Amino acid sequence: MLRTFRIGGIHPPENKLSAGKKITALAVPTQVVIPLSQHIGAPAQAVVKKGDTVKVGTLLGKAGGFVSANIHSSVSGKVNKIDDALDASGYKRPAVYIDVEGDEWEEQIDRSETLNKVCNLSSKEIITKIAEAGIVGLGGATFPTQVKLTPPPGTNAEILIINAAECEPYLTADHSLMMEKGAEILTGITILMKAINVKKAVIGIESNKPDAISLFKHMIVHFEGIEIMPLKVQYPQGGEKQLIDAVIGTQVKSGALPISVGAVVQNTGTAFAVYEAVQKNKPLIERVVTVTGKNVANPSNFLVRIGTPISSLIAAAGGIPENTEKIIGGGPMMGKALVSTEIPVTKGSSGVLLISNKEAVRKPMRNCIRCSKCITVCPMGLNPTLLMNTSEFRNWDLAEKNYIVDCIECGSCSYTCPANRPLLDYIRLGKGKVMGIIRARKS
């Protein structure tokens, strides 16, 4: 019997159309737009100005605080302007526009393909290198990695959990990366283990990727302390707390961090980025993005430079099919519809999903029939229907008492609701309000 997290969860159709497709490097566009805020936390402060010449890997923005990340140029060329640009958040935020000229890389970056397994750096040096490279959690949450690797005083990491679940339907970016860069990912995991000083790492992977599981089973014998654990396919297994529960069988308390149970969770994509940053001095300037959809001519996994407009990814996958209604940045469950195809790829873009008018329409909302399906599927053990009502009627006290801030916004409740109630929409609203109230109370 395969393990999974113990409460809630759903199993939507997997639709992994681009599984098994090789990663193709996408051509460098003529202009890139690199947002200065691609992560959770303070935006980076621009250190270049209009007219500056930059190379691939040149620092464009310096981290604007402890919870922030450096931003590097993904192309070589000239800075056209620093101006507001529409990004996946749906709002205009500061970004660096670069006109591409040639493809010149910073000298310290090692561009060879050779595997460099040995890392003699200390934990501190590794974390510094990761911070310099601007690495953030590539699973989608984009939390700065160096912060996660620096446990608060008094806590001790015991196990590193690698998230290879990729529980979102359609997405195959991590899966394809595992098939092609397995040794690099495993080296990255070893480096991460050294950084947080643990002896054990477990790769949690869903059983719908048998090829990756068997490949890794062969490979991990060459690496010390790494295990691979196939998990039952269940959404949202990639959620941090869900994965911890699935892998080590311990639940993280409400409001507590994973480190409270001695676990640090990192994504496979992040492990690969860490390998490249530490062993090859390469900052985070490109990532794997899945472009997919039932009507897309050629669903693919692309290696894309950060700042490339989504439109060129779609063009490479065969263009926008007729009757496309929505283009979603990310997966179908947690992704967000994009308002323009000129929005650039950022560190957190894991996929681009094109869905047709038949699938995209939200059905009209009806009254709650008290079936409690949402309560059954909620992986955090919350009461979504109650939380939606507290939000709708602005009863923030009651919302807080019912742990609205624990919601991970996975959307299982909205997905399962037979009355098509927009549960998550309202819960997200209430969560934001309550978090604001809690913050105001603390300060």
Site residues (vs other proteins, CB under 8 A): 84, 86, 89-92, 326, 336-337, 339-340, 360-362, 365, 422, 425-426, 428-429, 432
From residue 238, alpha-carbon distances to 74, 157, 161, 346 in Å are: 28, 20, 11, 20
Q: Which is nearer to other proteins, 173 or 413 (CB)?
A: 413
Q: Which is nearer to other proteins, 118 or 440 (CB)?
A: 440
Dihedral in degrees, nearest 10, Cα atoms 49, 51, 57, 61: 10
Q: Closest approach of Cβ 83 to other proteins, in Å? A: 9
Q: Closest approach of Cβ 425 to other proteins, in Å? A: 5
Q: Which is nearer to other proteins, 76 or 414 (CB)?
A: 414
Q: Taking Cα atoms as reference points, which of 136, 165, 161 lies closest to residue 39? A: 136
Report the alpha-carbon distance of residue 125 to residue 414 in Å, rounded.
Answer: 44
CB 319 within 8 A of CB 311: no
Q: Which is nearer to other proteins, 243 or 333 (CB)?
A: 333
Q: Closest approach of Cβ 351 to other proteins, in Å? A: 18
**Two tokens at 24?**
């193709």
**Two tokens at 349?**
């873009």
Q: Closest approach of Cβ 429 to other proteins, in Å? A: 5
Q: Which is nearer to other proteins, 84 or 103 (CB)?
A: 84
Q: Which is nearer to other proteins, 195 or 387 (CB)?
A: 387
Q: Which is nearer to other proteins, 22 or 439 (CB)?
A: 439
Q: Closest approach of Cβ 340 to other proteins, in Å? A: 7
Dihedral in degrees, nearest 10, Cα atoms 139, 178, 133, 193: 90
Residue 83's contacts (CB-CB under 8 Å, 6 or more residues apart) are: 94, 95, 97
CB 98 within 8 A of CB 77: yes
Q: Closest approach of Cβ 390 to other proteins, in Å? A: 14
| Angle in degrees, 0-180, between the axes of helices 384-392 and 423-442, rounded to the nearest 10 | 70
Helices within 10-91 (DSSP H only): none
Q: Taking Cα atoms as reference points, which of 437, 375, 407 lies closest to residue 254? A: 407
CB 411 within 8 A of CB 382: no
Q: Which is nearer to other proteins, 362 or 441 (CB)?
A: 362
